[in-house]
A and B are shown apart, each in its own frame.
Chain A
């Protein structure tokens, strides 16, 4: 269900999106929907939402962020975030990038074919490693599940629906983990994977401001979404955060994007993004 449905879905989405979207320019009232920020959103969802926000800000496309408890179910693919533009609804970063491109905005047009392929490979790496690790920690690590995931995920619902939905989601994720061979992994191995992923990203970034030198791309938005969320989210322990903190250029990269795209240029911070502070997130 999980593994099979998505590629087919995005193919249809691509065709659908590129045909219709090109006609109209980006409207003023574009909206991004995500789960409730303070009491509901989980690490992985927050990372995805932040990545899309960063991407749209990099494209300089205004979007109003709306929090809904049922955002996950409103989304056509069942995953957050999704944007509502005109009468179009598009979910997740990949299709949103396509959609925005069809409207004439792109961050990766300046790249040559080799760079584009490289960018896609790194995006896959982030999705396969960081996103999966986040899901694993949220749903498969019992301590995190009990202390953080369960109360947050079930917060909008009353008994007994709250427990049912948590169980349903837990089984879904466990099935997915099994399907991709993560079922037998230990938490330690997952942290190792995160470390390796960060190492690869850190090496690729080197001393450049962004992954492809001067201009940010959707890869930068995606990496920022995940790393920033990991750095600022309080989990049951600090191990995940420490793994990322080992790479100073990645931290500087997160700060750079935060300063350039999430703070007003007159110096006052418009949003609540603050790197070293607690778990409050956009």
Chain B
């Protein structure tokens, strides 16, 4: 009997941003079994046993769900594939540092002639891992300490704690994550946090202390999140010269909101997609579960990518949103929408479109923005197949509008308001993909339709973003 080692499966990176181009397409790695002395390929085989080596605190039922498919394999290729899938599923749990698979013929007394044993050699992550780093930005230096307790109770629960101590502000976040056993995509998350943000475009400082719980679950091809959040928000002026409109917003408020979001994402990459579409719909209802802020907020994001010839991609996006205050209190500056910046309506400064008071942007209760991009590889394709694939050139046309609506007027007047004074811009630039989480853009922009009070960035604009138009 021949022995087949399946160690040739390429090891996947454990976690963290991956700068290689390998995961860009996310295509499945085809498993090609090596030919050995005896041809097992087409023979029927039975997986008799699955062994685990190296399990410590991980509970058996958790891994049993993840590897149960291996038993269903009927021939060697299937065994290899199922074992590979099981390995990926195990790694996805984020509780193992390393998972290796060994497929061997069954050696026991009760071994069937075509019986196989599959052995998973796993190395668990340590009970406690820590990290620290320092950050500089916004005229502030800070030190960030992180603690992670993976696989806390043995069923892929995770507890993370992050503490940032800065020269001006301290923030922290504590989160507990619990997936359903055998169904990792269904999970529960509890967060406790304090974050401080400084928003110079509004001369506003905001400190949020909050607690939130969320449940994530997939339905068919969509991912849903149900969330309750209770936040104590403290707003204040960033400087003495802040406009009076910002001063009037200062003080404490308590928001308790229920929100739902739905995401369908068929794109092959989140940052520089080549094909596929994204639809994201968010809705948030605040005020019915307590607190002193009441509103209904709806917003959506749509992106469609189409691959053209010459390795270029045509990408179209549309965003929109609306905030309806409930009751007689006006909406808070912390809840309204903002538009403009190097990754939204380009050519305008960060969040510097729409209603403003003495140069401080107040945000709006309704907005839309759209963009058409043509992404192409770098001219002459330097660094092709490697570093160069992190870059794209793009030509873009962006448009959008942000304003406040008078909700007595009816939909026709709303559409008219959103259609007048449209800001738009066009230009070209270079996009750099930073892992699979963010991107950097260096663009030459020509802003058009500039309204009184908008702050523009005529010419070269540089910026980073996670969400982009």
Contact of B232 among A70, A74, A156, A164 (CB under 8 A): A164
Which applies to chain B's interface (DSSP): helix, strand, loop or mixed? strand
- Give chain A nearest CB distance to B361 CB in angstroms: 18
Contact of A165 among B235, B247, B250, B252 (CB under 8 A): B252
- Give chain A nearest CB distance to B327 CB in angstroms: 13
A residues in contact with B252, CB < 8 Å: 70, 73, 157, 161, 165
Are B244 and A158 in contact (CB-based, < 8 A)?
no
Are A84 and B244 in contact (CB-based, < 8 A)?
yes
Contact of A158 among B236, B240, B254 (CB under 8 A): B254
Are A161 and B250 in contact (CB-based, < 8 A)?
no
B30, CB-defined interface residue at 8 Å: no
B residues in contact with A157, CB < 8 Å: 252, 254, 292
Please judge, given known A-B contacts A76-B237, A76-B240, whether A158 and B292 are in contact too, CB under 8 Å. Answer: yes
A89, CB-defined interface residue at 8 Å: yes
A69, CB-defined interface residue at 8 Å: yes
Please judge, given known A-B contacts A158-B292, A159-B290, whether A89 and B247 are in contact too, CB under 8 Å. Answer: yes
Are A74 and B254 in contact (CB-based, < 8 A)?
no
B residues in contact with A76, CB < 8 Å: 237, 240
- Give chain A nearest CB distance to B194 CB in angstroms: 13
Are A70 and B290 in contact (CB-based, < 8 A)?
no
CB interface residues, B 274-314, toward A, < 8 Å: 290-292
A residues in contact with B358, CB < 8 Å: 87
CB interface residues, B 321-360, toward A, < 8 Å: 358
Are A73 and B290 in contact (CB-based, < 8 A)?
no
B residues in contact with A87, CB < 8 Å: 244, 358
B residues in contact with A72, CB < 8 Å: 251
- Give chain B nearest CB distance to A76 CB in angstroms: 6
Measured in the bound complex, the distance between the Cα atoms of B232 and A87 in whole Å is 30
A residues in contact with B250, CB < 8 Å: 70, 73-74
B248, CB-defined interface residue at 8 Å: yes
- Contact digits for A103-137, partner B, Cβ 8 Å, 1 yes 0 no: 00000000000000000000000000000000000
B residues in contact with A160, CB < 8 Å: 254
A residues in contact with B247, CB < 8 Å: 74, 89
- Give chain B nearest CB distance to A240 CB in angstroms: 30
- Contact digits for B213-246, partner A, Cβ 8 Å, 1 yes 0 no: 0000000000000000000101111001000100
- Give chain A nearest CB distance to B239 CB in angstroms: 10
Measured in the bound complex, the distance between the Cα atoms of B252 and A116 in whole Å is 40
CB interface residues, B 249-279, toward A, < 8 Å: 250-254
Are A89 and B236 in contact (CB-based, < 8 A)?
no
Are B251 and A74 in contact (CB-based, < 8 A)?
yes
A residues in contact with B292, CB < 8 Å: 156-158, 161
Measured in the bound complex, the distance between the Cα atoms of B32 and A90 in whole Å is 77
Measured in the bound complex, the distance between the Cα atoms of B432 and A35 in whole Å is 52
Are A69 and B240 in contact (CB-based, < 8 A)?
no
Are B251 and A69 in contact (CB-based, < 8 A)?
yes
Are A73 and B244 in contact (CB-based, < 8 A)?
no
Are B232 and A161 in contact (CB-based, < 8 A)?
yes
- Contact digits for A20-60, partner B, Cβ 8 Å, 1 yes 0 no: 00000000000000000000000000000000000000000
A residues in contact with B248, CB < 8 Å: 68, 70, 74
Report which residue of B248, B252, B291 has the largest number of chain A beta carbons within 10 angstroms of its beta carbon.
B252
Q: Given contacts A157-B254, A161-B254, list 16 more A-B pairs with CB under 8 A.
A: A70-B251, A73-B234, A73-B236, A73-B250, A73-B251, A74-B247, A74-B251, A76-B237, A87-B358, A89-B240, A156-B292, A157-B252, A157-B292, A161-B253, A161-B292, A164-B232
Q: A residues near B, CB below 8 A?
A: 16, 68-70, 72-74, 76, 84, 87, 89, 156-161, 164-165
Closest 5 CB pairs of A and B: A70-B251, A73-B251, A73-B250, A161-B254, A158-B292
**CB<8 Å pairs between A and B, sample of 13:** A69-B251, A70-B250, A70-B251, A70-B252, A73-B236, A89-B244, A156-B292, A157-B252, A157-B254, A157-B292, A160-B254, A161-B254, A164-B232
